[in-house]
Amino acid sequence: MWPPLVSYKKEEMCPLRISEQKVEIVFLGEKEEMIVDKCGVAGFKFKNNNVFPYLYYSLRALQHRGQESAGMAIYSDGSIKEHRAMGLVSEVFENIYIEGNVGIGHVRYSTQGSSSIKNAQPLVMFTKIGIMAVSHNGEIANAHELREKLMAEGHTFVTESDSEIIAKVISIETSKTGDFVLGIKRAMRILRGSYSLAILINDRLFGIRDPLGIRPLALGKVDFGYGIASESVAFDSLDGEFIRDVLPGEIVEVKEDGFITHARIKKKHYAHCMFEYVYFARADSIIDGKSVYEVRKNLGRILAEEQPVDGDVVVPVPDSGRAHALGYSEKSGIPFAEGIMKNRYVERTFIMPYQEHRVAGIKLKLNPVKSVVSGKRIILVDDSIVRGNTMLKIVNMLRKAGAKEVHVRIGSPPIIAPCYLGIDMKTRDQFIATDRTWEEIARAINADSVGYLSIEGLVKAIGHARENLCLGCLTGEYPVRIKGEKFREVKQIEDY
C-alpha cells in the first residue's frame, strides 16, 4: 500500500495570493516534520516521460555526498509535488512515486543547519512569478549577515539552512526586475561562498554554479532528455552521457532537447575545492575535466616520492584510500594488498553528523585481514586525516591483528583550518594536525611514522593551477572574505 498523498493548495499554505498555482507536498510520517539542505543535487527535464525514476537513481549514485536526508520536487500540471524525509534515498522513497516531466532532487549532510527534518531539501517557496524549488550544494559564507539584514527588513525564516537565504535573495531580486535570469544574476553578486544549484521555477529547470566554481555541477543527456547533477556518475548510472561541467558563474537552463546558457559571471581565477578530488567525490567521476580516480592515483605516486618508507605491503583504508594506495604501490614497487575489509552496508563515518556515531561506525565498518597483516610492516595509505579518531582505531586494529609496524601515509597535506564553503570541518580544535608535529601526530594515532603529501605535490597531482584551487583548510587563506580569516591574495580574483 502506498501512503496517502497529502496535498496543500497555495491558499492553505500562504495568506498572500501570489499565483494561481498550488503546491502539493508528499511525505512519509508526521506531516509536521520535514527535511532540507545541501550536498548532492540533480535535476531532469523531459518532453513527455516521467523524471521520477531518473531522479531516484541519480540520487542513489550521489548517495555518498549525503546520507542524512533526501528529497525531490517535481512539477506537473501547475503544481509541485514534494517529498522529503530523513534517511537514505532507498528508505525515503520506499513506496513513493511522483509523476511529472521536470523535477529536482537532493541528498544532504549538514554543514549549516542542524541534522533535522526541517533542514532538508528541496526547499519550496512562492514568488511573484510562480513556485520555486531549490536544491543546494555548498555553503554561503555571508549567510549570517544576509539573514540578519533580511530579518531586519521583515522577512521570516522557517529553517536554519543557508539554502533558504539563497531562495529568498533570488526571489527578492527577481521581484525587483520581473526577470528570473536577471534575478539570479543579481543574487549571485550578493551571495558569497559556494553553491551549485538545481532550481525549478514553475516548469523551468536551471543549473547555477558559483563564480569561483568551488562545488561541482555537471550537464548530461539521458534517454528522454537532459539534466544536471553534482557529479558525472549520476549520468553513468542512468546509461546516459556526461556532456560537460557547468562553468563557474554560469546560469544554464535545461530543456528537454538541450540546454541554454543565459549568462555567465566570469572570474580570472577559480577556487575548485581540493577536497572534492582528495575525498568527497566518487572516484569514477570527472570534475572540471579531471578524472578523480587518476588524480587520486597521482596523489599516491607523488606521496611515494615525497614520503618513502620501508615496508612489506601497501594497505589502503577502504574505500577512500584505495586509489591513493595503488599509486603509492606502483611508484614504490611495494606490493599492494587489501589488508582491511569494509562492510559496504555502513555509512561513510566522516559525514555522520555526530562524533559518537563516527567512532561507533568505525567498529562496524572495517575489519583486518590477518593473513595479510600479521608479522608485516604495513604502509597504511588514506586520503586525509581530519580528527584522527578513525585512524587511531584502524592502526590499533592492525596492531591487534599482528602488524609488526604501521607507517601511515596521507595523500593530502595536513588539514589545519576550518572549511566555510561546504565541508563539515568547522573548528580548529577538531584537527589532529593543529599545533602538532608529524612525530606528535604519529604518537597520537599510535603509528610508527606518519607522512603527508606536500601542497606542491597536491597541486601537481590535481592538474589545476594553484590559483584555481581552494586550499583554505590547508593554508588558512580563503578565496572569499571570511570574518576573522585571511583572504587569499590573488590580485586577479575580485571579492564579489
Q: Is 273 marked active-site?
A: no
Strands 102-108 and 39-46 come out as: antiparallel
- Phi/psi of residue 269, nearest 5 degrees: -135, 160
Choose the catalytic residue: 39, 273, 419, 473.
39
- Local structure of 369: helix, strand or coil: coil
Q: How far is CA 206 from the centre of its chain?
A: 19
**Phi-psi bin for 150: left (phi > 0), alpha (psi -120 to 50), beta?**
alpha
- CA 454/CA 386 separation, integer angstroms: 16
Secondary structure element (H or E) that encloses residue 392, with its range: helix 389-400
CA distances from 94 to 61, 83, 89, 104 (A): 16, 11, 8, 18
According to DSSP, residue 49 is labeled: S
Q: Do the Cβ atoms of 18 and 10 come closer than 8 Å? A: yes
Amino acid letter, residue 196: S
Alpha-carbon distance of 161 to 111, in angstroms, equals 9
Cell 510520517 locates to 29
Amino acid at 257: D
Residues of 63-100 as b/e, b for ≥16 C-beta within 10 angstroms?
bbbbbbbbbbbbbbeebbbbbbbbebbeebbeebebeb
Q: Which three cell numbers stand for residue 6?
A: 497529502
Q: How far apart are CA 487 and CA 491, in angstroms?
A: 11
Catalytic residues: 39
